[in-house]
Every structure is written in C-alpha cells, then in structure tokens.
Amino acid sequence: MQPKPNLNLYSFLGHLPWLKKSYTAKIMVVAFLGTHVPLLTLMVWFLTSNAYSVETSIRVLLIALLATLVGTGATLYTLRHLLVPVILTSEALQNYLDTRTLPNLPTEFTDEVGTLMANSSQTLYKLDELIHYITHYDELTGLPNRDLFCDHLNQTRSQNHSPLVAVLVLGIDDFTGMRHALEPEICDLLIRAVSQRVVQCMDGSDVLARLGDGELAIARSELPSLESVVKLSQLLQSTLAKPFSINGNQIHITASLGITLNHLENTNSVEKLLQQADLALHQAKHQGRSHYQFYSPEMNVQLQERLALENSLRGALERNELLVYYQPLIDLHGGRVTATEALVRWQHSTEGLVSPVKFIPIAEANGEIVPIGEWILRTACAQNRRWQLAGLPALRISVNLSARQFEQTNLVEMVRQILAQTELEAAYLELEVTESALMTDIERSVTTLTQLRELGVSLALDDFGTGYCSLNYLQRFPVNMLKIDRSFVKDVLSNPNSATITDAIIALAKSLGLTITAEGIETKEQLDYLQARGCDEGQGFYFSRPANADTITKLLKDSLQSDAASIALATHF
C-alpha cells in the first residue's frame, strides 16, 4: 500500500487568505522564513547573553541582516525560476480546458517536475486524439462521421474553388426490418462488413462516412462524370449483393443509392448536397429494392407537393373527403367471391381522386393514419354488415392496418368495439398487416396478433415476399393467410425469378397450413398459372378493379343471380 501523502502543511498554508491562491507565494513565504532562521537565532542569542557590548551586537546584527536579505533575495529569485515548470504545466492545462489549445511543454527533463511537464503534455495530446476520434469517427465501423465528411469536402473546396462533386448516399434496403429480424450483434457485424466492402470500392481520393444505422455517404470529387458515378453505383450494388457470411449465417442484402452531382459553392452546400442525395435515395427506395436515383430539382417540387398534400390532408376526414372502395377476392377453386378488400380513396377538392399510395405514407408519418384507419375500419365493417342484412352471402371484409395503427396499444379494444357497434361477427373481418409492421417489435406483434385471433378475427400478411420476414418468425405469427405481392404476380410468366418466388411462397403457405391469395391478377394466363400451382384465392383487375360500395353491391347481387354462384365479373373464369 502506498503511504498516505501528507498535505497538512500545504493545506495549513492554504488557509491563510493571502496565500490561498498562489503556490508560488507559499514557497516564497517558506523560503523567506527559512532564510531568516540564522538572523533570528543570532538576535535571540545577543538578547540573552551579555558577552558583547550593545554596539558590537547591533553591528553584527546589521551585517547578519544585510547578508540574510541578500541570501533571501537570491533564494527567492532562484526558487521562482525553479517553479516555472509547475506554472507552465498549470497554464497549459487551463489553456486546453478553455480553448482546446495543445501545449508546447519541454519534454527533455527527467526529474519529477520534468516528467510532470512531459506526461501532462503527452496526456493532453492523447486525450485530444481521443476526443477527435469520438467526435469525428463512427465507433462501430471506424469510418468518419457526417461532421468529418463535411470537413473533408470543405477542405476540397478551399483547395479548388467550386469543384464538381458527386455525393452518394447509400442505404441498405429495409434496414429497419433487418434490424429487428437479426440479433443485434449480427446486425452490427453486418454493418461493419458492409462498410468494409464499400471501402474496397473506393478510389484514393473518395471520402466515405457513416451517416446513420444503415446509411453511408460517399463523395467523389476527382473528375466525377455521370458515367463514372453510375459505374460506382453499380459496383457498390453488385459488391453488396454477394451474400455475407456472419457467424455462420448467410445474409443477403440489397442497397439503394441517391446521388447528386453538383458544384460545391457556398458554406452550406455540403449539407445541401447531402440533403439532395438523401432526397434522391428516398425516391430510389420508393421504386423498390436495389435502385439508384440521381437528384433532380423536380424532386424539390415533389417535396413541395408532398407538403401541400400533407396540409390539405389535415381535416380531410372531417370534411368527408375520404371514401372506401372495395375490391373482391375470388376463390380460385370455385370462382365465388369470398371477401372484399377495403381500399381507401381521397376525393381531393382540386386534385381529384388521390391514391392511397400517395397519402397513406403521409398520414402514417404525421400520425393521422390512426383516426383515418379507425374510420376506414368502422366504415368497412358497417358496409359488410349492410351487405349481409341485404341478403347477400356473408363475406369477409379485409381491412389494411398500417404499421402505426398496429403499434397502438388500444388496437385490440378498438377492433372489438367497432365489431360490437357495427354488429359484425368477428369471423367476417380480416385484418391485413405487412411484414415490416410486424418486425418492429416481434414479441409485441405476436401478442397483438394472438389477441386479435382470440377475438375471432382473421389475419393476413399483405405484400408477402417484399419484406424481410424470416421463416423462423413467420412460424411464430399466428396469421391465417399470405398475400403474394403484386410485383411477383405481375411477371410470373415472363420472369423465372418471380415464378420461382411465387411457387416457393405457395409451397411455404401450404406447408404452414395457411391460405394463399395472389394480388394483382390481370390476365387469364396469370390466373391459369396460379390455379395450376394450387393458389387458393385471387384478387386483381382481371376480376374487378376496386369500386365504390354501390358498384360492388350491384356486382355481388349479379353474382347471386348467376347459376354457378360465381360473379358476373368473373365470366372470364
């Protein structure tokens, strides 16, 4: 054990008001008193002895006083100089704390105070490096962060006035879904592996940074031509498309890119370029997976349009501008209508009928989907009950739930109340959710789905195949039905990949005992293909486009009158 340092004298001197603030003053006082000991001893000796005359005593004392003063002066002067290293170290530390200026302390001395200077200096340099690293680099990948990325580009600008720069923002597709599907450590390792592969695609002068969870930014400033940027984007996408092997798991990902090619002009423009690339990335993701998109000024216009739409969506429900269309689902074995899907429309005062693809994401983002979704559910259940009361065959009504709605803690209670209010039996309601909505919080999703099933409601996984649902989770979700996404059905006859996926989804649904519905059937050939594969239900323009309640009522009545109980619209059947 180390002996306890004795700070008594130091602390005692600190209590004296005129010594409190200055270490130098403390040393000076001690030195002053110390150098006066011989003089005081001499004085006491002269006062207590009668051996010398008063005159001799005064003379000796005066000489001693003079000698003491000269000695004290010399001692204090020298000590002051010896204290300089301590004062310098203290000032250097203070300076770093105040202004983050790094010290310039000598390092050649090897005694205690020399080591104090050298070590303080080294500690500050190391600390500064660490602070710089923490504030400028991403901890997980070791890549620069957004700030350093901007700094680098600003430096490029200072060396070359207004250079042409390509900024690419790369986003891993459906990263949120993946985050939830994979274990956190595996996800982190994957992000690291992704950034390493991206590094391999870089040229010496490219700047790379990690912006967020699944997003990287790349800047190329040396002669970026449209062609070279397209090549880089394709290289990045193909490099990342190769499977990753992480802790024994084979993981496949795709990436989309937003690109802007522009001049770096004013101080804000690095941020502006990033914003443009980000906007382009949004557009790319809108087109599906694995796309790249260049920024164009029209995107800003689209953003303005979106803002305008967002504004006018506020209050649309109260102004009775929303209406529900219905699209029949047909039993592919017998040709009867088994259900209708409720699909919302917005009758905009100037824009006409607005597609849900345009306004649902807006309502989802600003939370308005919650009251809107509740209204759709109530309207659809009430309509289904009306059809039953009109003597039409009892059908399921299928209602889409958005992710935000699915997260509502009162969802199950809300559904129960609407069923009670509209007097619809739970068996005639089907709720459609997407894989990504379920992946946000798997445990909670399982609980909510189970509670909905307990109410007696059926559950369908919508747009199946486009999300990121591992088989493992699929087995845990108590759903009744999978709906094959329209994108696969669309080119099931022309694209062998789509056909393989469609076949696999049908086989999967069958092995899990789930009903399988195909969305977006438009042609007889598609229908034949799906029937041959044993698909249970179908929905699409081939049978009927979504239409208002009156049109669908007529259609259902017509179908009742037809001999085979199959609907008139399905005469092609």
Positions touching ligand C2E (CB under 6 A) are 327, 342-344, 355-357, 360, 373, 376, 400, 402, 432, 462-463, 486, 519-522, 539-541, 546
Full DSSP string of 413-464:
HHHHHHHHHHT--GGGEEEEEEHHHHHTSHHHHHHHHHHHHHHT-EEEEEEE
Q: Residue 154 binds which one of Mg ion, ligand C2E, none, with CB within 5 to 8 A depending on kind?
A: none
Q: Residue 321 binds which one of Mg ion, ligand C2E, none, with CB within 5 to 8 A depending on kind?
A: none
**Binding to Mg ion, residues 519-548 (CB under 5 A):** 519
Distance (Å, rounded) from C-alpha 481 to C-alpha 526?
20
Q: Residue 178 binds which one of ligand C2E, Mg ion, none, with CB within 5 to 8 A depending on kind?
A: none
CB-based contacts of 496, cutoff 8 Å, min separation 6: none
Q: Residue 343 binds which one of ligand C2E, Mg ion, none, with CB within 5 to 8 A depending on kind?
A: ligand C2E
Helices (H), 137-183: 146-159, 175-181
Interface pick for Mg ion out of 215, 368, 435, 462 (rule CB under 5 A): 462
Lookup result for tokens 């040393």: 27
Of residues 294 and 359, the one with the C-beta less far from ligand C2E? 359
Segment holding 504, helix H or strand E: helix 496-511
Interface pick for Mg ion out of 400, 405, 526, 559 (rule CB under 5 A): 400
In the complex, the smallest distance separating the C-beta of residue 482 from ligand C2E, rounded to whole angstroms, is 12
Q: Residue 467 binds which one of ligand C2E, Mg ion, none, with CB within 5 to 8 A depending on kind?
A: none
Give residue number: closest CB to ligand C2E. 540
Of residues 80 and 386, the one with the C-beta less far from ligand C2E? 386
Which bin fits 288, alpha (ψ -120 to 50), beta or left (φ > 0)?
left
Q: Residue 277 binds which one of Mg ion, ligand C2E, none, with CB within 5 to 8 A depending on kind?
A: none
In the complex, the smallest distance separating the C-beta of residue 323 from ligand C2E, rounded to whole angstroms, is 11
Neighbouring C-alpha atoms within 13 Å toward the C-beta of 47 = 6
How distant, in Å, are the alpha carbons of 108, 342, 484, 505 from that of 509?
A: 77, 23, 10, 6
Distance (Å, rounded) from C-alpha 112 to C-alpha 85?
10
In the complex, the smallest distance separating the C-beta of residue 168 from Mg ion, rounded to whole angstroms, is 31
Of residues 280 and 363, the one with the C-beta less far from ligand C2E? 363
Q: Residue 520 binds which one of ligand C2E, Mg ion, none, with CB within 5 to 8 A depending on kind?
A: ligand C2E
In the complex, the smallest distance separating the C-beta of residue 463 from Mg ion, rounded to whole angstroms, is 4
In the complex, the smallest distance separating the C-beta of residue 271 from ligand C2E, rounded to whole angstroms, is 33
Which bin fits 565, alpha (ψ -120 to 50), beta or left (φ > 0)?
left
Q: Which stretch binds Mg ion (CB under 5 A): 4-12, 78-86, 301-309, 395-403?
A: 395-403
Q: Residue 253 binds which one of Mg ion, ligand C2E, none, with CB within 5 to 8 A depending on kind?
A: none
Q: Residue 376 binds which one of ligand C2E, Mg ion, none, with CB within 5 to 8 A depending on kind?
A: ligand C2E
In the complex, the smallest distance separating the C-beta of residue 348 from ligand C2E, rounded to whole angstroms, is 15
Residue 432 makes contact with Mg ion by CB under 5 A: yes
How distant, in Å, are the alpha carbons of 96, 345, 363, 454 from that of 373?
A: 57, 12, 10, 21
Binding mask 487-526 for Mg ion (x = CB under 5 A): --------------------------------x-------
CA dihedral 119, 124, 127, 131 (to 10 degrees): -170
CB-based contacts of 10, cutoff 8 Å, min separation 6: 26
Distance (Å, rounded) from C-alpha 515 to C-alpha 267?
58
Lookup result for tokens 């994979």: 182
In the complex, the smallest distance separating the C-beta of residue 434 from ligand C2E, rounded to whole angstroms, is 7
Full DSSP string of 248-312:
TEEE---EEEEEEEEE--STTHHHHHHHHHHHHHHHHHHT-SS-EEE--HHHHHHHHHHHHHHHH
Beta strands 249-251 and 244-246, pairing class: antiparallel
Segment holding 40, helix H or strand E: helix 37-48
CB-based contacts of 14, cutoff 8 Å, min separation 6: 20, 26
Q: How many residues bind Mg ion (CB under 5 A)?
A: 5
Q: Residue 541 binds which one of Mg ion, ligand C2E, none, with CB within 5 to 8 A depending on kind?
A: ligand C2E
In the complex, the smallest distance separating the C-beta of residue 526 from ligand C2E, rounded to whole angstroms, is 9
In the complex, the smallest distance separating the C-beta of residue 465 from Mg ion, rounded to whole angstroms, is 10
What is the binding site for Mg ion (CB under 5 A)? Answer: 400, 432, 462-463, 519
